[in-house]
């Protein structure tokens, strides 16, 4: 699958969102799903939860805060 349609397990999604050295917890993803927060997810079959890479990227983009550089006034 390409173009952001790649499906990731919750473990892989946690690593993607938090980084290899500091992944967010799979329990956090579970809590976000329960509270209807966090990135979109899909169910494969009755119970398996997967995350589309494009949805994880969109979630990160929604949290992006752009900082303007301020000229030094001195």
Nearest to 56 by CA among 36, 33, 38, 34: 38
Return the pLDDT at 60: 92
How does pLDDT run across 18-54, given as a tens digit for each residue?
A: 888 888 999 999 999 999 999 999 999 989 999 999 9
This model's pTM is above 0.85: no
Return the pLDDT at 20: 80
Domain-by-domain residue ranges, the chain?
7-62
| Confidence label for 4 from pLDDT (cuts 50, 70 and 90) | low
Nearest to 13 by CA among 61, 44, 55: 55
CA distance 53 to 71: 37
């Amino acid at each position: 699958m390409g173009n952001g349609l790649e499906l990731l397990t919750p473990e892989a999604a946690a690593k993607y969102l938090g980084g290899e050295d500091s992944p967010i917890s799979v329990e956090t993803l579970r809590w976000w799903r329960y509270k209807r927060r966090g990135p979109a997810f899909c169910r494969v079959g009755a119970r398996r939860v997967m995350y589309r890479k494009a949805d994880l990227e969109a979630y990160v983009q929604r949290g992006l805060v752009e900082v303007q550089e301020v000229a030094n006034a001195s």
